[in-house]
Structure 1
């Protein structure tokens, strides 16, 4: 997947159909769609490699780069889903196309829930390069669940990226894509064989820890997490846990600054591609640059060897 190119006119047409006054649940699908891996399994619809998401080079995208953006859709996280649909996803795409920190971005969106409590804890779109990025984004289902069990299943996206994506970027050019998870909670810590079987229909012989899942995802992707600060009592503890798990790959943004999310993602990718912080921020106005700089301060620059190591 990933043909076509993103046009401002297509976005304007789509955006005109979405009211800012409605809830996130009214913007997004009120049903489960074909973008749910579990649905592919339950209905046994395996034609067309529905269990695999592919980012392939094409005439439109001769050097495609896969970018996965996963966001927490549990409980009170509707504001994040709404911001992505109304503003941030368009800004992310526009920034990447305009400033070109990576070549030919193909973006896949993912809705993340709780593998121990939700019916559909992971939903994924296809890798796309045009307005279908946002058309498929708003076709995801906001289950709004979560189990009150001390975390969410961000690790499902790491497993998915490692085992259920293919891309010319890393298969042909030994270059990594990008994976971001965004939310306000800790990760649940591991995935059991039963969870993986239920959600992906894969057989694994033992429990996979977050550390092992990250290592698997990081073979092909530069993996980052963005913690949303929303004045929870334990948010400092949550942020520390993420920093321990992913040192130099985790940052934080306050809920009230969520409109700067696209700028932060762009800045992280730019720095990871070798730009200095100043170079990454120079295209932004002062307000955006200041907010992005605060978050960027937690992110380490690239190591000398950033390509895939087999």
Structure 2
């Protein structure tokens, strides 16, 4: 998938009709997971070059949709997707963005612990995102199954950028909780429809996905779970064990998309100070803090992984 190009005028018309003046529940009307987004029923997702996008770049935003984190999906639908696409077009850190949205929950408790749209280059990504089910559950067990997003990307994505050009895609998980330490055999089979010989730890899965993807986690340190007692330290510790240099502390969720774009720019070789200064107002400071310690790009992908 991934034909077409982003059009801000089309976005303006779409949001005027589908999100303006509406509550979160009016924007996201699904009350269960649709088969088209069920990863256990998906053989693979494709990001392919086309006449419209001859040098496609796959970008995945995997958002926690448990508890209050449905706000992330809402922000993307209100203005975030348009900012993401237009800023990548304007700044050109990568070519021809193909965007996928994932909804992440808890494989230990949720009915829909992972939902996956197609890769799209135009307004169709918004049309699919609105169909995602904001289950809002989560297990109250000190973590979410962000590893399911990593494992899907490692095993169920086929992308020309990776296969033809040896270039990595970008994968951002976003949320306020620790990461569960991987997935059991049973969870992997139930959620992803994949049979494996043994449980996989979060570190195991990260090693798999990093072969083909630039992987970041954006921790919303002033939201939700992170605000309970010592929970922020717990969240950051769990993530830094597997992504020591790419666990990003985001102080203001309103700068989420600008931070995503900035991380891509820095990974592609831009100076962090220059990137942060390119944003206006308080966003510049928020982005500058988020970019602290982010390393430069160090390698290219090596092909889609199979279990």
Band of TM-score, shorter chain: over 0.9
1:129 partner SS: coil
Q: 1:114 to 1:88 in 2, by over 3 A?
A: same
Which residue, out of 245, 248, 251, partners 2:245?
248
Is the 1:36–1:120 Cα contact (8 Å) retained in structure 2? no
Q: Which residue of 2 aligns with 1:140?
A: 132
Q: Distance in 1 between matches of 2:180 and 2:259?
A: 25
- Matches for 1:42-191 after TM superposition, within 5 Å: 50-191=42-183
Instruction: Note if 1:307 corresponds to 2:303.
Output: no
Q: How many corresponding residue pairs?
A: 297
Which residue, out of 265, 271, 276, partners 2:271?
276
Instruction: Note if 1:296 corresponds to 2:288.
Output: no
Q: Distance in 1 between matches of 2:147 and 2:55?
A: 28
Instruction: Note if 1:18 corresponds to 2:3.
Output: no
Is the 2:19–2:77 Cα contact (8 Å) retained in structure 1? no
TM, length-normalised to structure 2: 0.92
**Cα offsets for 1:212-251 (capped at 9, x unmatched):** 1001111110000000122222112211221222011111
Give 1:167 deviation, angstroms.
Answer: 0.3
Is the 1:88–1:259 Cα contact (8 Å) retained in structure 2? no
Is the 1:64–1:106 Cα contact (8 Å) retained in structure 2? yes
1:289 partner SS: helix
Q: Which residue of 1 aligns with 2:255?
A: 260
Is the 1:193–1:207 Cα contact (8 Å) retained in structure 2? yes
Gaps of 5+ in 2: none
Q: Distance in 2 between matches of 1:34 and 1:95?
A: 32
Q: Which residue of 2 aligns with 1:36?
A: 37
CA RMSD of aligned residues (A): 1.5
Q: 1:10 to 1:150 in 2, by over 3 A?
A: same
1:166 partner SS: strand
Q: Distance in 1 between matches of 2:287 and 2:25?
A: 29
Q: Which residue of 2 aligns with 1:210?
A: 202
Q: Distance in 1 between matches of 2:6 and 2:82?
A: 9
Q: 1:134 to 1:298 in 2, by over 3 A?
A: farther
